[in-house]
Structure 1
Amino acid sequence: MTFELLPYRTKPKKGETPKAGLEGNVGHFGPVIVERCPLYRPLEKGMDTARLSGPAFPETTFRGKRRSGQPSLFKAELTLDGRAAELRFNARALKKGDRALRIAYDGREYVYSSEGLGKANVLEREGVRVSIELGRQIPPADIASAGTATGPVDAVDLAIAIVLQEVDTDVLTLSGAALSSPFALMQHFSDRAE
């Protein structure tokens, strides 16, 4: 199965918060939307949230320390229909496989990895693979995301893979970690100040 996710931004009315994220139709699962607030909100104590919803999908929320205008893998929490998933990753590992994000949810074990900056992000569990990469350019300056799912994929698999598209996962690659290390250092000091 293949699918496409398009970026969107809202222009809020007075007193509303702007929203940004991804939306699209995912095969027979139908419409899905991921939204987050692109503005820094001081009352959130440096945390940011991405929410996924759609009629066929579990309500999925990813919350993490804000980096690059998105939630990150630092201090991260993932919940699906109000039930927490367990997240583990080693930001100091040198091998690509050791840097992957490991997700345990409802008896399933997932591995989420990045093939490199600007390349595909892949969510895998036994027999299932969901890959999402940069797609076609949308004038004037946006880029769609192109997804491919193989195996007996279900709404939980897709929800996790899609919500992670709105998360800063640069630390899953060595080059991304090197580029973001000044931010990581600042984040370390801000974490200690809290």
Structure 2
Amino acid sequence: MEQRTFTLGYWEDRSGHRLDWKFGYRGEASSFGRIEVVYPARRHGDHHVTEVTGDRVPTTTFDGWAYVRTPSLLFASLTLGGAGVRLRRNRWAQTRAGRAVKMQVEGRSYRYQATSGGTKNHALIRDGVEIRTQHHGRGKAKKVMFTITGAVTPTDVALAAVMCGVDTRNLTRNGAIRSVFSRSLTWLD
């Protein structure tokens, strides 16, 4: 099967008050044109929103409980082109596939899961299509490389891109354990 790749580079805008700072990734995504991931695109209460916009991809937002600058999977909601998408996951599962975020979009079943023990490699999988994301670098040199296998649609690319601006550490067992301790200490304050 043919594989294609594209890379989105990190950017940040630290102008104004620190609560107005924006971060994200942007770049050219082959036949899908320019794509931009922004987090937090908006804040409301204890929730942050990551937003994806682009030339040929539907506007996609992920809203979740705030973790540093990104939304987490806790109390999360996903919107694709203005329509809500139901998210499901089994936080107690022992395997990566079991801990995956599952969603139904336009009659298709998707699974977003960690592909390694760390928090930098993930895959969005649906029947016949896989988009793998790998985070590289640190600081302003950060990048996300997308490896596409199969006949992808703009919806597939938008879903994979929005998840780059989401705290997905709970998709691995070690990440979930670290998350529990971190939240416990935060709630004690």
- Which residue does 2:157 correspond to in 1? 158
Q: CA RMSD in A?
A: 2.3
Normalised TM-score (structure 1): 0.86
Contact residue 117 and residue 173 of structure 1 kept, 8 A: yes
Counterparts of 1:113 and 1:178, CA distance in 2? 17
Deviates more, 1:7-16 or 1:120-129: 7-16
Counterparts of 2:87 and 2:183, CA distance in 1? 19
**Alpha-carbon displacement from aligned partner over 1:30-85 (angstroms, at most 9, x marks no partner):** 1000111399x5xx221000010011010101000011321011111101111011
**Alpha-carbon displacement from aligned partner over 1:76-124 (angstroms, at most 9, x marks no partner):** 1101111011100111222222111101111010010002214421000
CA gap 1:48/1:15 in 2 versus in 1, 3 angstroms: closer
Give 5+ residue unaligned stretches, structure 2. none
- Which residue does 1:170 correspond to in 2? 169
Tell me, what secondary structure is at the counterpart of 2:90? Answer: coil
TM superposition shift of 1:15: 10
Deviates more, 1:109-118 or 1:7-16: 7-16
TM superposition shift of 1:162: 0.7
Contact residue 41 and residue 49 of structure 2 kept, 8 A: no
Normalised TM-score (structure 2): 0.88
Counterparts of 2:170 and 2:29, CA distance in 1? 27
TM superposition shift of 1:12: 1.8
Counterparts of 2:17 and 2:184, CA distance in 1? 36
Counterparts of 2:98 and 2:75, CA distance in 1? 19
Contact residue 119 and residue 169 of structure 2 kept, 8 A: no
CA gap 1:11/1:145 in 2 versus in 1, 3 angstroms: same
Q: Percent same amino acid at aligned positions? A: 30
CA gap 1:14/1:75 in 2 versus in 1, 3 angstroms: closer
Contact residue 41 and residue 48 of structure 2 kept, 8 A: no
- Which residue does 1:28 correspond to in 2? 31
Contact residue 65 and residue 71 of structure 2 kept, 8 A: yes
TM superposition shift of 1:185: 3.5
Give 5+ residue unaligned stretches, structure 1. none
CA gap 1:27/1:60 in 2 versus in 1, 3 angstroms: same
Tell me, what secondary structure is at the counterpart of 1:148? Answer: strand
Contact residue 114 and residue 123 of structure 2 kept, 8 A: yes
Counterparts of 1:15 and 1:185, CA distance in 2? 25
Matched, 1:102 2:105: no
Q: Amino acid of the residue matched to residue 54 of structure 1?
A: G
- Which residue does 1:4 correspond to in 2? 7
Counterparts of 1:15 and 1:181, CA distance in 2? 27
Q: How many residues align?
A: 184
Q: Amino acid of the residue matched to residue 73 of structure 1?
A: L
Deviates more, 1:9-18 or 1:83-92: 9-18
Counterparts of 1:141 and 1:16, CA distance in 2? 19
**Alpha-carbon displacement from aligned partner over 1:115-144 (angstroms, at most 9, x marks no partner):** 221442100000000000023x37x65321
CA gap 1:13/1:77 in 2 versus in 1, 3 angstroms: same
Q: Amino acid of the residue matched to residue 147 of structure 1?
A: F
